[in-house]
Amino acid sequence: MKLFLPSARATNVLLIIGFSSLGYALYMRYLAVEQSTVGLACQAGLNTWLCFTRGIFIALFTNSVFGIVALAVAALNLLRPSLVLFTVALAAACFGIVLYNIQLSALAVGLLVLSLARRAPESV
């Protein structure tokens, strides 16, 4: 019985994607969403890339999109383990944990850990 474990190369890619999404989420939270000067400038009509992405991120975490996507993809990964699904769920969970969707994203991380105990799909 072979378990679903990423290879060393896949683990390195997962680490890069996980830390990158965590870093970008931290950047957006602390330097764009929570900064009062950025918020006031964007509400005053400043038309920059930062204000545009700030608006998108606020709309996404207000509707719990990060948590829902992380949980849905992690559940799919639990049913049928795949590196692509694992990567998408990991990135969405990192964004969700940092950007106020903690409950659903934490449940998704738990499902990702459980998926590592699943049997690997048989190759044809």
pLDDT, tens digit (0-9, with 9 covering 90-100), for 70-110: 999 999 999 999 999 999 999 999 999 999 999 999 999 99
Give a yes or no: residue 121 inside a domain: no
Give a yes or no: residue 99 inside a domain: yes
Give a yes or no: residue 61 inside a domain: yes
pLDDT the model gives residue 26: 97
How many domains would you assign to the chain?
1
Give a yes or no: residue 3 inside a domain: no
Q: Read off the pLDDT of residues 1-48 as tens digits, 9 standing for 90 and up.
A: 688 889 999 999 999 999 999 999 999 999 999 999 999 999 999 999
pLDDT the model gives residue 3: 85
119 band by pLDDT with thresholds 50, 70 and 90: confident
Are 10 and 80 spatial neighbours (Cβ–Cβ below 8 Å)?
no
| CB-based contacts of 30, cutoff 8 Å, min separation 6 | none
Q: Quote the domain boundaries for residue 102.
A: 8-115
Give a yes or no: residue 124 inside a domain: no
124 band by pLDDT with thresholds 50, 70 and 90: low
Give a yes or no: residue 47 inside a domain: yes
Are 96 and 67 spatial neighbours (Cβ–Cβ below 8 Å)?
yes
